[in-house]
Amino acid sequence: MIEFLNFIPLNLKAMETSTKSLISIEKSKTSKIDKVDFDNLAFGSVFTDHMLVCDYKNGAWENPKIVPYGPITLDPSAKIFHYGQSIFEGMKAYKDIEEAIWLFRPLDNHKRLNISAKRMAIPEIPENYFMEGLSALITLDEKWIPKKAGSSLYIRPFIFASGQGFHASPANEYKFMICLAPSGSYFSGKVKVLIEETYSRSANGGVGYAKAGGNYAGQFYPTQLAIEKGYNQVIWTDDNTHEYIEEAGAMNIFIRINDTLITGPTSDRILDGITRKSIIEIAKDENIKVEVRKITVTEVVEAAKNGSLKEMFGAGTAAVISPISTFGHKGTDYDLPELQESYATRLKNRITDIQYNRAEDKFGWRYKL
Amino acid sequence: MIEFLNFIPLNLKAMETSTKSLISIEKSKTSKIDKVDFDNLAFGSVFTDHMLVCDYKNGAWENPKIVPYGPITLDPSAKIFHYGQSIFEGMKAYKDIEEAIWLFRPLDNHKRLNISAKRMAIPEIPENYFMEGLSALITLDEKWIPKKAGSSLYIRPFIFASGQGFHASPANEYKFMICLAPSGSYFSGKVKVLIEETYSRSANGGVGYAKAGGNYAGQFYPTQLAIEKGYNQVIWTDDNTHEYIEEAGAMNIFIRINDTLITGPTSDRILDGITRKSIIEIAKDENIKVEVRKITVTEVVEAAKNGSLKEMFGAGTAAVISPISTFGHKGTDYDLPELQESYATRLKNRITDIQYNRAEDKFGWRYKL
């Protein structure tokens, strides 16, 4: 069994003292912001004026710098092109009505990035580089944070192998970057999912729990096949029996049977989603009965047939909470009921109210920039 | 079960007629060749004067061009950095004593590249772009083909997602490139391997059979752990029981028990190695008894204990045939005997004699440039 690091809450105050000295800033001479239609944002396709870049060379991360957003140059033998050595995180920045900027559990993203780094043999990024980099970059481009409901500033920290050579071994140079993309919803409209029974996302002892680039490319083809059949996403199952529900690639999966909310346990095959674990805590706080246990496909199909399956939804940073309207399995589509008072809506309201500073944050998850 | 394309031999003559019209060439004004120490080449760390680049845009592969070897420029949101959408091939060019240049089964590499492409949702590359690109590039840089025994010109065709955006879906733009690297041996000295019992390389229904970038990065950390224990490579086992021998990441695995040569069957978890299948055919031609069947770890350990395990070796383009001197399993090292007349040596001589045009090629594998 692979050991996971625990997420230990750190002292946020201690970190803020040295801010602004670490990061050098080269400002863009012009801004692209006037060319952006903030009322019609797609997901992750428009980028702000600046980006953070930090190189790993000679065994150490160099000082991070903020520069105008623009192309990067690499040798064709850079290992990212050949061996997929890359990891990333997904985060969002929120503005409240008083224009204060908030992040949501950013230290958890830093911890998870380093968990991914370890599994992918990438050097870990120091916490102050990550946190101060985020802070300086978002502050600089804060006008790009969308105000329209449902839109947000999507934050993409990522690390990839820039070192050269065709030997199949870890690179000796890396780039850590942060880019910002004002974004609309990840899904538009109802989400139909297909429970996969042929392809798989991850192996026992593999890299499924890491936010590694290759985990995503491997899902594209099976997802395309599902899209051709009229679904939006695939719900992955275990690679050995296809009987256990795992995750949906871009989100963790929750199901509600009668009044119990159930989600699968994380493992070395399943991403430890920050939205997922927040939803578990909020649901408990709402006095919803929560079970974290293995979910079988048979159980979900039976529950759909006998009417006890009330809801299914995905949870993730990009997708927030995305209610599933239909799931397909072995050629049959099962429609979920439309509830007046769904857990999905209730939990989405609770978490977004915390994220946008519209309500008390009893969990201490909000992080002010 | 996933269907695999068959490798159908094509008419080589038909393809040669249109050569040299398709590829545009911009020659380098200077050559770096005088700076290279051809007597002390590492693997894949020095590159020739030119490279081939071909872009996929607006739904089609544009005309390929050969340009001076140099950096490439990409948007930071290019999907290769985020979602690991990349595939590659490994090939070699050989020069005979009359300076004629030979490839080994290049059409099989093209077929396999497109099998990988399909699984990774990458547009397939036309055969003439691949073959004519190879031919024009290697002919232009033919002085770079090393003559020293054990050295060769390693050829790296690869395709990666250059299209932009953070949506986790296939890119709309790609780059197909070929780079050339005069290279020494992949392994130096004896190869010690560790039979893995915790980590895994691939899942049933996953991408293990594709030469996808992410398959390699996922191996780096477990391989580092093995290296720290004194081994060179990991022999992967199935992710469910760790009882079946799969492959060694950079090579397929053969074992010899008494006088029978055994290798595992290919599957959706195991790369269909071109050296592997050539070795199977050569061994049969040598009247060696060959079995393609599942190999259990228990069987290998038992054979090592009772002395019936005579040889283990890896087979791959980069590694050619690499005899294994020791394998480790559950804390015990098992040394292989040193044979005077090993299958490994005999088969390596046969295949390299074909590759370097030192012997008859009754199989029709050699391909003259």
Mean pLDDT for the stretch of residues B120-137: 98
> Do residues A325 and A260 share a domain?
yes
Which amino acid, one-letter code, is at B158?
Answer: F
Residues in A closer than 8 angstroms to B183, CB to CB, are 166
Model confidence at B58, pLDDT cuts 50, 70, 90, reads: very high
Least CA distance to B166: which residue of chain A? A44
Q: Which of B196, B200, B213 sits opposite A214 (nearest CB)?
A: B213
Residues of chain B above pLDDT 90, percent = 90
Model confidence at B148, pLDDT cuts 50, 70, 90, reads: confident
Looking at the domain assignment, is residue A3 inside a domain? no
Residue-averaged pLDDT of chain A = 93
| The pLDDT of residue B4 | 38
Side-chain-side CA neighbours of A332 within 13 Å: the count stands at 7
Tell me, what CATH number does A69's domain have?
Answer: 3.30.470.10
Residues of chain A above pLDDT 70, percent = 95
Question: Distance between CA A173 and CA B47 in Å, rounded?
Answer: 18
Query: How many A/B residue pairs have CB atoms within 8 Å?
Result: 253
Please give the angle made by the CA atoms of B294, B299 and B305, to the nearest 5 degrees.
155
The greatest distance separating any two alpha carbons of chain A, rounded to the nearest whole angstrom, comes to 63
Residues in B closer than 8 angstroms to A167, CB to CB, are 42-45, 186
**Domain that residue B106 falls in:** 12-184
Residues in A closer than 8 angstroms to B219, CB to CB, are 168
| The pLDDT of residue B107 | 98
Residue with the larger pLDDT of the pair B22 and B70: B70
> Do residues B172 and B232 share a domain?
no
Contact across the interface for A216 and B82, Cβ inside 8 Å: yes
> Do residues A27 and A74 share a domain?
yes
pLDDT at A38 over 90: yes
Mean pLDDT for the stretch of residues B106-126: 98
Looking at the domain assignment, is residue B308 inside a domain? yes
| Among A79, A281, A240, CA closest to A160 | A79
| The pLDDT of residue A11 | 40
Yes or no: say if A151 and A183 are a contact pair by the CB < 8 Å rule: yes
Tell me, what CATH number does B304's domain have?
Answer: 3.20.10.10
Least CA distance to B268: which residue of chain A? A199
Q: Using N-to-C axis directions, what is the helix angle for A127-140 and A106-119, rounded to 10°?
A: 130
ipTM: 0.93
Interface of B with A in 249-288 (CB under 8 A): 249-250
| The pLDDT of residue A16 | 41
Model confidence at A354, pLDDT cuts 50, 70, 90, reads: very high
| The pLDDT of residue B188 | 77
Mean pLDDT for the stretch of residues B132-144: 97
* Number of compact structural domains in chain B: 2
Q: Over the stretch A249-270, which tens digit does the pLDDT of each residue have?
A: 789 999 999 999 999 999 999 9
Residues in B closer than 8 angstroms to A118, CB to CB, are 221
> Do residues A164 and A212 share a domain?
no
| The pLDDT of residue B13 | 38
Residues of chain B above pLDDT 70, percent = 95
Q: Over the stretch B74-84, which tens digit does the pLDDT of each residue have?
A: 999 999 999 99
> Do residues B38 and B178 share a domain?
yes
> Does the beta carbon of B215 lie under 8 angstroms from any beta carbon of chain A?
yes
| The pLDDT of residue A149 | 81
| The pLDDT of residue A8 | 35
Residues in A closer than 8 angstroms to B232, CB to CB, are none
Mean pLDDT for the stretch of residues B62-72: 97
Looking at the domain assignment, is residue B212 inside a domain? yes
pLDDT at A85 over 70: yes
Looking at the domain assignment, is residue B29 inside a domain? yes
> Do residues A313 and A241 share a domain?
yes
Last residue of a domain, one of B132, B156, B184: B184
> Do residues B63 and B205 share a domain?
no
Looking at the domain assignment, is residue A333 inside a domain? yes
Residue-averaged pLDDT of chain B = 93
Contact across the interface for B168 and A249, Cβ inside 8 Å: yes
Contact across the interface for B213 and A84, Cβ inside 8 Å: yes
Looking at the domain assignment, is residue A6 inside a domain? no
| The pLDDT of residue B8 | 35
> Do residues B121 and B197 share a domain?
no
Question: Distance between CA A165 and CA B8 in Å, rounded?
Answer: 33
> Do residues A44 and A95 share a domain?
yes
Q: Over the stretch A295-350, which tens digit does the pLDDT of each residue have?
A: 999 999 999 999 999 999 999 998 899 999 999 999 999 999 999 999 999 999 99
> Do residues B285 and B171 share a domain?
no
Which amino acid, one-letter code, is at B207?
Answer: V
> Do residues B19 and B52 share a domain?
yes
Looking at the domain assignment, is residue B32 inside a domain? yes
Looking at the domain assignment, is residue A336 inside a domain? yes
Contact across the interface for B218 and A181, Cβ inside 8 Å: no
Model confidence at A91, pLDDT cuts 50, 70, 90, reads: very high
Contact across the interface for B249 and A177, Cβ inside 8 Å: no
> Does the beta carbon of B188 lie under 8 angstroms from any beta carbon of chain A?
no
> Do residues A27 and A148 share a domain?
yes
> Does the beta carbon of A239 lie under 8 angstroms from any beta carbon of chain B?
yes
Model confidence at A197, pLDDT cuts 50, 70, 90, reads: very high
Last residue of a domain, one of B184, B217, B244: B184
Q: Which residues pair with A290 in a beta bridge?
A: A261
Question: Distance between CA B297 and CA B293 in Å, rounded?
Answer: 13
Model confidence at A12, pLDDT cuts 50, 70, 90, reads: very low
Q: Which of B83, B183, B221 sits opposite A213 (nearest CB)?
A: B83
| The pLDDT of residue A147 | 87
pLDDT at A190 over 90: no
pLDDT at A34 over 50: yes
> Does the beta carbon of A241 lie under 8 angstroms from any beta carbon of chain B?
no
Q: Which of B69, B170, B218 sits opposite A206 (nearest CB)?
A: B218
pLDDT at A189 over 90: no
Q: Over the stretch A148-186, which tens digit does the pLDDT of each residue have?
A: 888 899 999 999 999 999 999 999 999 999 999 999 988
Last residue of a domain, one of B184, B219, B245: B184
Q: Sign of the CA dihedral B295, B296, B297, B299?
A: negative
Model confidence at A14, pLDDT cuts 50, 70, 90, reads: very low
